[in-house]
């Protein structure tokens, strides 16, 4: 069984930055994909970013809202994935969830494909 624990959420003013971390315990295949989703009140869960665990691959994937502002990275030795969020906007306010899936591909468009979820961490951006 895989467990995912997120950290790094908090409150920040618009234009600020936050770095989220997600540490996994349990076995995750090197071919798997780890990623971040978010859900704002009254809205559907949205794919933010994903990255392949394969150490020979640097493939990353971003949702439209994250492109140019967010960067996903990983440290396989620590079983940890990071989400660096810059130039934050009030509309980025949401609960951010870490997740694992067998593959990246179109996963960000289909959060229901996720095999494992973390408990989420709140990000609040004030104007």
pLDDT in tens, the chain (127 residues): 999 999 999 999 999 999 999 999 999 998 999 999 999 999 999 999 999 999 888 799 999 999 999 999 999 999 999 999 999 999 999 999 999 999 998 999 999 999 999 999 999 999 9
CA distance 20 to 26: 20
| pLDDT score of 111 | 95
CB neighbour class for 50 (10 Å; exposed up to 12, middle 13-18, buried from 19): buried
Q: Which two tokens stand for residue 125?
A: 């951006």
Distance CA 127, CA 117 (A): 30
pLDDT score, position 14: 98
């Amino acid at each position: 069984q895989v467990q995912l624990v997120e950290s790094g959420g908090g409150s920040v003013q618009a234009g600020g930055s936050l770095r989220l971390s997600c540490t996994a315990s349990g076995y995750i295949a090197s071919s798997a994909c780890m990623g971040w989703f978010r859900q704002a009140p009254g809205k559907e869960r949205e794919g933010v970013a994903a990255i392949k665990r394969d150490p020979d691959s640097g493939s990353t994937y971003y949702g439209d809202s994250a492109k140019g502002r967010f960067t996903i990275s990983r440290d396989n030795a620590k079983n940890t994935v990071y989400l660096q969020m810059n130039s934050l906007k009030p509309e980025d306010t949401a609960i951010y969830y870490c997740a694992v899936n067998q593959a990246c591909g179109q996963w960000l468009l289909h959060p229901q494909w996720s095999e494992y979820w973390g408990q989420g961490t709140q990000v609040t951006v004030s104007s």
